[in-house]
Structure 1
């Protein structure tokens, strides 16, 4: 087959690929595995690690794409452009590729989309950690569909989201980008995001594969100290579900190295596991400059050519954000035949995406520029509902919440209370890009918490004081003003926590790792002074990670946790404080009691749990995983199983009763945990195996059933293979891992079974 038959959409895709690849020169093949970033910023404007180093000497677009190009990097997300301006830039670039190169192959356009489409004027949704707090896959999928529609409308084909990293250390700066510390919650929410984005015609990219959140000491880019069993059982399950079940079409490698092997050069990870075991057929794209890092940071390659060959042999298909190492693949190549075969393999995957996207069809042309509304009322509605469902009421011991409708004077105190951008994550456009373009402000309409409280309490006097800076030591005069404001108020809403920023320019975000889990700067001192004022204190933690709050438990009248709830976050918080919205979020991470003990997630095996009195450092949390209160009350009872025994390849159904025992409508999250008390390797003391978000009127009762295949109790055994082992499994139900009112036991019978294609989801009804 020759000529232009590869442009005929009626021809079988494999035949089209064969025809096109046969026509391509070696240079044209390599060009399709690279990318181009038209980035002209200075070294103090970086938004990616070591961007200033690798951006030096970038060729012009004309020169870079003379043989074509695989991807265009962040046309919308680099510097401020309107929808129409960004579309015009894409159209100009794509026209040059179509008419100015021999084969005329358009590029895939990719953008960031972690908290929404990362561009000027687009809706900023809550951070992924806030999604985790909703325990609501359907709402996450609805958000992803909206993000995908906006991106597809302006000519974007691939989104670099979601993040599937499972939190292992709360000090890590990118905790805000994750969906929490439980692999099943991350897996189900991430899969919902993938399905929503791809339903809108945009390729989802799973990241960071794998172990990025497990770096030593919670430090960005640090090595990972983890064996294969822990990797398989705690880190990889979200990726597996998103690949096998949600059919994600792209994966991005992690910057980290595990057992001394960098992910970008790990053939076991990128090929044997991802493709061989899981059947992944899409593309693996590099995190920005990860291929070059094989030489400059990891030291496993002596030249850029060697770095490129290591990556492509491992199974990495596309180099982002620029072409560098892959351009030198054939330089001093000791095995050119092998390299050529690797190139053809990667090329086939890349071109398959382009065919599936319609880019290679006869007559394809980029969309005409138009002023698309990227912050529509529909988007705002989704952002508002996500924000409201993500807010967690941790404590209400003083019954201060909801605030009385006629509260005369409210003091709002905290270092970022009057800054709406404090509601937004590090990968939101207002935080990620616009600080370098102050003339645009936030680029989007957003209110601060004091403004939202004034709207919610129109008769109240709302007084605002900073109290202290976010990170640096404060002065006594500023602290005294805040204390005086509290003393003369009926309630003090003290807002502490983070402001997102990249590489140390904030207290949360990529490269903004925490030295401890105490609140940053003088914020602990601020809270103590306001507590001492005698005025009831509602402590609002607005953060990208959980902070140690044990010293405030029982002393604040109420404690509320919000994980950067986005552009609608201020209004959502005000409505929760007023009672207009009944809080229903539950913790996707634990809240530590003290900052001195090493960070700890609930999934530790027995030796890692508190209670054995083997150390003077307690790691018991202030608030456990899954915790979340309401302005009504709920009760879980009557856990029953449909069988007492089951073979290791069968299913069991657990049914519980959930009742709203309070006086108003509310929502909660009923949770089902399993425990495997005796196994051939150590297992978590408890692990979430199912959850359901339940809405009930006052006095209403419902039954929730969880149907679990025995695969849901599988783990990686001594043989390093996934197995289901006979023995006792204890199932417990409740409203958090620390509040499990009901327990029942099922015994698995028969021989130990190896599991090749596991049932990954628990069916809920």
Structure 2
């Protein structure tokens, strides 16, 4: 029997619900976007602009206030005072006295003016540090709570399937376990401060056709079950996430927003989720406008509510008048409204909005405190990936001073280039060019001046991010010839819907660097001056020419929008003050034509002699260099384990270099024979460890065999008996130390109570 998804209502909720008119019920199921209009900060926002007056819209109460801090540059303290008064008005001047729930975007920090901007989620994945992401989630949640916000629209748990998709920078990794473990810790951090996390985008959004935003999804049920769904299940079962947002996708012709298969039967019935499902912005109306499965907004509302979408965001385009008219006409059963209202009221009661003494008073708040910046710095430093290095880096290894530095490239002196699409600066302030950022975010040029104060620094753009103008490249070439080292900072500019090169709606047909940036790099390299290429991007690009081409730079750094402390992290790595430790959370693609690609491919998904095309990436998942060397040896594994039980794997990691550093220990597996094809490599577990020169550590992985589970031919999630190859290496592609495990016994059907997480223990010893 399918779980109703409604927690047993309290007496207060039952009493409140019993008193409600239809209009009051519907008012609790919608948001109102106070500042909407003019700026495009959501898909089709201009077309969907509401004409309702705010006072009229709140006459019967209100479910959500939509992005009161995050739509326009409003002073946080002044807006908090307005919000305090508005909540008091809803309590005292509406019949039922129910305050509104306030939600905001918080993917790279609270999306509000003057708030800290952290690294983008793809950088979280590159850092491979769930605990630090939990710290970040907590400090973001604290800022939100101080401003009277209750729900955050994050994290994004979409698994990367195609780097051409514009929203890759919002995602964590191409590996579902990495997405799940890091995303779950973000949920825990945010919710530890009383902010409800909202898992996005449930489900399939990132698997869109040709990497196009809002395109159809053709994923099969096994890919959905084994790759796309696990991060959401982990964040709900292990992280206790309180809210879920539906995907815009249609899967095999059925829009998720109208499919109770996922939102009711799976999410609530199988996983036991008892929170609230909110619509992605305008996705209910899109059932009519973009999918064509509803004749009008009222029918769209019925489809969405029946499927399990409790709250329509950002406004009530479908759930108000259109739905009310259908109910009065006897076309829609009011029971589906009651189900959603009970869920919403239970959420409001849990977070205290129904308390008799509820009030919100704005106090002093620092949205970019020393704590914010410390976390931002540590996460940025851990996330930068050193892709190649012929010994040119670190620069401090060659001289006390670097000498003459040519800092070149369109991102060399740009603060916006350090931030992702959902940063407030790139999401909102791009529409307000005369408004200052409101917080400190040094550019790479600023950080270089601080890093090398005694050196001669010349800054030359050379070209724009995305235009075809080559007229300034010669200036960059001249600067490089006159320098001892040339640092070229290239990459993306995040934006939305055609504004920028990456971000929501900014999908790519090619994975070449935008504009004429490749020509800029190659001409600077041709000068003969040592060149370091720094990529500030929101997606991985096809840069085979820069990795091993005839005129490749001497070193390449990859930074995925590292946030407000990102420039200092980059220059610190260049100088040697910081030892790089980031690892690729997504394969470095060969070409756009080789997409979609995942390291989790079966044998037929890789290169072979039966095709003339190549799909293997330029650099593999998990790759990243350091300024020290690690040896990984002596992998030992239990010889046998029963299906459904857990096994132990131990490996020794030794820092054999001369510098302290951090290794990301990666344990991989391959199922030798199974009833369905299995990936050639699958990450089972990972551990970030810090080691001094000469220090050794034994890392123990306690691995539940459920990590090797998959959907069999009847779509049961099972662990099958058979041989498993295991290895540890610097990436998925290199088996530095190997072992073999035999799973024995009967096929084990995975249960909800089965352990899903790998437990890690580290013991250390210092070599004499």
TM-score after normalising by structure 2 = 0.96
Task: Report SS of the residue matched to 1:438.
Answer: coil
Q: How big is the shift at 1:421?
A: 1.3
Alignment correspondent of 1:264? 257
Say if 2:434 is the partner of 1:457: no
Q: How big is the shift at 1:118?
A: 0.3
Say if 2:4 is the partner of 1:30: no
Alignment correspondent of 1:729? 724
Task: Report SS of the residue matched to 1:106.
Answer: coil
Q: How big is the shift at 1:756?
A: 2.7
Alignment correspondent of 2:42? 48
Task: Report SS of the residue matched to 2:113.
Answer: coil
Alignment correspondent of 2:568? 571
Task: Report SS of the residue matched to 1:97.
Answer: helix
Conserved? CA contact 1:219–1:513, under 8 Å: yes
Quick one: which of 735, 758, 764 aligns to 2:760? 764
After the TM superposition, which residues 540-619 of structure 1 pair with which residues of structure 2 at under 5 Å, given as runs? Answer: 540-554=534-548, 555-610=552-607, 612-619=608-615
Say if 2:111 is the partner of 1:111: no
Alignment correspondent of 2:55? 62
Task: Report SS of the residue matched to 2:685.
Answer: strand
- For residues 198-226 of structure 1, give each alpha carbon's deviation from its aligned partner in whole angstroms, at most 9, with x where no partner exists: 00010000000011111011111101111
Closer, same or farther: CA 596–712 of 1 in aligned 2, 3 Å: closer
Q: How many residues align?
A: 747
Alignment correspondent of 1:209? 202
Say if 2:172 is the partner of 1:173: no
Alignment correspondent of 1:405? 400
Name the CA distance, whole Å, in 1 between partners of 2:226 and 2:402. Answer: 50
Alignment correspondent of 1:3? none
Closer, same or farther: CA 305–338 of 1 in aligned 2, 3 Å: closer
Quick one: which of 188, 191, 194 aligns to 2:187? 194
Alignment correspondent of 1:520? 514
Alignment correspondent of 1:468? 463
Quick one: which of 323, 329, 343 aligns to 2:323? 329
Say if 2:298 is the partner of 1:305: yes
Closer, same or farther: CA 338–596 of 1 in aligned 2, 3 Å: closer
Alignment correspondent of 2:5? none
After the TM superposition, which residues 363-762 of structure 1 pair with which residues of structure 2 at under 5 Å, given as runs? Answer: 363-367=357-361, 369-403=362-396, 404-476=399-471, 478-554=472-548, 555-610=552-607, 612-641=608-637, 643-757=638-752, 758-762=754-758
Q: How big is the shift at 1:423?
A: 0.2
Conserved? CA contact 1:75–1:89, under 8 Å: no
Conserved? CA contact 1:496–1:523, under 8 Å: yes
After the TM superposition, which residues 85-234 of structure 1 pair with which residues of structure 2 at under 5 Å, given as runs? Answer: 85-234=78-227
Q: How big is the shift at 1:94?
A: 1.3
**For structure 1, which segment, 83-92 or 537-546, has the greater mean C-alpha deviation from structure 2 after superposition?**
83-92
**For structure 1, which segment, 649-658 or 397-406, has the greater mean C-alpha deviation from structure 2 after superposition?**
397-406
Q: How big is the shift at 1:400?
A: 3.5
Q: How big is the shift at 1:596?
A: 4.1
Conserved? CA contact 1:415–1:469, under 8 Å: yes
- For residues 98-132 of structure 1, give each alpha carbon's deviation from its aligned partner in whole angstroms, at most 9, with x where no partner exists: 11111000010000000000001000000000000
Q: How big is the shift at 1:50?
A: 0.5
Alignment correspondent of 1:5? none
Task: Report SS of the residue matched to 1:307.
Answer: helix
Conserved? CA contact 2:155–2:197, under 8 Å: yes
- For residues 257-281 of structure 1, give each alpha carbon's deviation from its aligned partner in whole angstroms, at most 9, with x where no partner exists: 1111111111001011101111101
Gaps of 5+ in 1: 1-11
- For residues 293-352 of structure 1, give each alpha carbon's deviation from its aligned partner in whole angstroms, at most 9, with x where no partner exists: 000000000011100000000011000000121112243459959632111111111111
Alignment correspondent of 1:240? 233
Name the CA distance, whole Å, in 1 between partners of 2:676 and 2:244. Answer: 30
Q: How big is the shift at 1:401?
A: 2.6
Name the CA distance, whole Å, in 2 between partners of 1:564 and 1:633. Answer: 27
Q: How big is the shift at 1:443?
A: 2.0
Conserved? CA contact 1:313–1:339, under 8 Å: no
Name the CA distance, whole Å, in 2 between partners of 1:760 and 1:753. Answer: 14
Conserved? CA contact 2:381–2:578, under 8 Å: yes
Name the CA distance, whole Å, in 1 between partners of 2:155 and 2:388. Answer: 31
Alignment correspondent of 1:75? 68
Alignment correspondent of 1:4? none
Task: Report SS of the residue matched to 1:439.
Answer: coil
Task: Report SS of the residue matched to 2:304.
Answer: helix
Name the CA distance, whole Å, in 2 between partners of 1:334 and 1:102. Answer: 22
Name the CA distance, whole Å, in 2 between partners of 1:80 and 1:614. Answer: 57
Task: Report SS of the residue matched to 2:699.
Answer: strand
Alignment correspondent of 2:766? none
Task: Report SS of the residue matched to 1:756.
Answer: coil
Alignment correspondent of 2:272? 279
Name the CA distance, whole Å, in 1 between partners of 2:411 and 2:227. Answer: 35
Task: Report SS of the residue matched to 1:90.
Answer: helix
- For residues 499-555 of structure 1, give each alpha carbon's deviation from its aligned partner in whole angstroms, at most 9, with x where no partner exists: 101111111110111111110110111111111110111011110000011112242
- For residues 684-740 of structure 1, give each alpha carbon's deviation from its aligned partner in whole angstroms, at most 9, with x where no partner exists: 111111000010000000000111111111001100111111111111111211222
Name the CA distance, whole Å, in 2 between partners of 1:130 and 1:566. Answer: 9
Task: Report SS of the residue matched to 1:673.
Answer: strand
Q: CA RMSD in A?
A: 1.4
Name the CA distance, whole Å, in 1 between partners of 2:456 and 2:591. Answer: 35
Closer, same or farther: CA 13–298 of 1 in aligned 2, 3 Å: closer
Name the CA distance, whole Å, in 2 between partners of 1:678 and 1:215. Answer: 30
Q: How big is the shift at 1:475?
A: 2.6
TM-score after normalising by structure 1 = 0.96
Conserved? CA contact 2:392–2:530, under 8 Å: no
Q: How big is the shift at 1:450?
A: 1.2
Conserved? CA contact 1:669–1:694, under 8 Å: yes
Q: How big is the shift at 1:614?
A: 2.4
After the TM superposition, which residues 12-31 of structure 1 pair with which residues of structure 2 at under 5 Å, given as runs? Answer: 14-31=10-27
Name the CA distance, whole Å, in 2 between partners of 1:652 and 1:25. Answer: 57
Task: Report SS of the residue matched to 1:362.
Answer: coil
Name the CA distance, whole Å, in 2 between partners of 1:85 and 1:329. Answer: 36
**For structure 1, which segment, 122-131 or 89-98, has the greater mean C-alpha deviation from structure 2 after superposition?**
89-98
